[in-house]
Amino acid sequence: MPFEQCMYIKNVMSTFKQEWFFAGGWAIDLFLGKESRNHQDIEIGIYRNVQGELKQYLKNWEFNKVINGQVTPWQGEYLALPVHEIHATNTNKHELEILLNESDDENWKFRRDLQISYPLKTAVKYSDTGLPYLTPEIVLLYKVKNTREKDHLDFLSAKRFLDSKQKDWLRRAIMIHEPEHEWLHLLD
């Protein structure tokens, strides 16, 4: 069954009252409409201001926060920048990586450089099966720092399906964030 892992998470999150979305490589595959590669993990994003609600919603899960590469228990205290990564595990040993995203009333904000933003109302898209995912140009922006082979493959898979507006936004954002990145020459 395509996107079986994503469908499981959709069921887990089905009654969560706040916006959430798939991130990372799964978001790229949902944009493409097919699984293009194997995924080591599953990542979702939420907006930072609803982290407490998510912890309450998944109250039977065990939570850890990642600070400077160190994983420690998360007791529910408010996690401010630069902390942005939470790991959750349920009693069936299903693992979920939760990425805290910045936003204001109108815009998604890039946590590595808050001057980079994207209209909040269009930052999340939906697959044909109703799976929410962070728009691919935002996901690719995260992948320009310390680009790994799988990140480059995600870029190559997605770039030909990006429209000119998406490519223009990504190009401008990369110019601000990583102005020497090789993808700038590949965004035609």
pLDDT at 2: 65
Q: Where are the domains of the chain?
A: 4-135
Q: What is the mean pLDDT of residues 97-115?
A: 97
pLDDT at 112: 96
Q: What is the mean pLDDT of residues 154-181?
A: 96
Q: Which of 180, 141, 178 is nearest to 159 (CA)?
A: 141
Residues, the chain: 188
* pTM for the predicted model, two decimal places: 0.94
Residue 1 above 60 pLDDT?
Answer: no
Q: What is the mean pLDDT of residues 38-62?
A: 94
Element (H, E) at 136: helix 136-142
pLDDT at 186: 93
- Residue 119: asked if its preceding bond is cis (omega within 30°), the reply is no
Residue 41 above 90 pLDDT?
Answer: no
Give me the chain's average pLDDT, please: 95
Lowest mean pLDDT among 45-49, 97-101, 127-131: 127-131
Q: Which CATH architecture has domain 4-135?
A: 2-Layer Sandwich (3.30)
pLDDT at 106: 97
Q: What is the mean pLDDT of residues 7-31?
A: 96
- Max distance between CA atoms of the chain, in angstroms, equals 47
pLDDT at 100: 98
Residues 110, 114, 117: CA angle, nearest 5 degrees: 60
Range 90-106 burial, b when 16+ CB lie within 10 A, else e: eeeeeebbbbbbbbeee
Residue 36 above 90 pLDDT?
Answer: no
CA 137/CA 116 separation, integer angstroms: 12
